[in-house]
Structure 1
């Protein structure tokens, strides 16, 4: 994924290109203009246009807003730009997405598949990384957050939860959430997501 001005002169990342095309298709399916999507998502028309043309690599926050508008989880959206999911997902085939701006790395360990409501994600946040989501991609989304190494602070429904290695937080997401690496080192966690 690209984020620096020097990288913008390079060819678009193939995942960004497929993601941009899928975002444009989702907007077209609804018959929305960029202006209408901007109103629904709270994202500027220019940012939406650049994301659809793969001129920028979308951030986790931007994708979360669009997922909310389109009623998808981030994993569902990302799986739509990947090949048909297999029953066995080898580690080398697990899609990895990175938001370099926030220091967030997301591995889709068990991507969404037709007929299944759950998925499994590995998240890594660099020391000091802090990600905020203004809304869930799907209201009432069930999440189980299991810290594999490090310390993680999760804020949901205005309650801050401090998790250490081995701790698990279970919740349904209805409003804003925040994930923050609370320790001096990277935090690694497993996130089980189940659609309502």
Structure 2
């Protein structure tokens, strides 16, 4: 399984992300071997991600977020500068996993004193993302389809969402997001920890 892309001159967000991942492991006093055991990610991949030698994939970040009890938005928010009240479109952090066909824009990033956040997600036709476990069990999510079609499986139930539809649930188990095509899909996720 591909767990990261080689990083030439890495993006500053990837550099800060690498430092934060190393910091989270250190805060828990875990060795790389312990984190590998808990996450199911190889020790060498974890080491390379913490040194900023690879840009982590969606799958890798999902596994690490689950182990550290954070949403992906929270983790990425921790590597950004203190967010302002007004977040201009050009200032919103965008993170992409091109191999998986996934692009994530932090529209309204986590902020001290605020509970909800808004994320815009895009899936390329044929993209299929699966998460084994929620980063924070019981976390509330509302998914509002903006364009295209996406199949979302929450636990055992699969829902097909089209533009204008909204799916809301509490994360308690596995999830899967699949864009059947022929066009890409774009949806907003409101996350309430």
C-alpha separation in 2, matches of 1:134 and 1:17 = 26
Deviations 1:106-127 (A, max 9, x none): 0000000112221000000001
Unaligned runs of 5+ in 2: none
Residue of structure 2 equivalent to 1:149: 147
Residue of structure 1 equivalent to 2:81: 83
C-alpha contact 2:5 2:57 (8 A) present in aligned 1: no
C-alpha separation in 1, matches of 2:99 and 2:114 = 32
Q: CA deviation at 1:182?
A: 2.3
Residue of structure 1 equivalent to 2:27: 29
Residue of structure 2 equivalent to 1:184: 182
Deviations 1:22-49 (A, max 9, x none): 0001111111100011111111101100
Aligned residue pairs, count: 190
Q: CA deviation at 1:172?
A: 0.6
C-alpha separation in 2, matches of 1:113 and 1:42 = 30
Q: Normalization by structure 2: what TM-score?
A: 0.95
SS of aligned partner of 1:57? strand
Q: Normalization by structure 1: what TM-score?
A: 0.94
Residue of structure 2 equivalent to 1:60: 58
Cα root mean square deviation, aligned: 1.1
C-alpha contact 2:5 2:54 (8 A) present in aligned 1: no
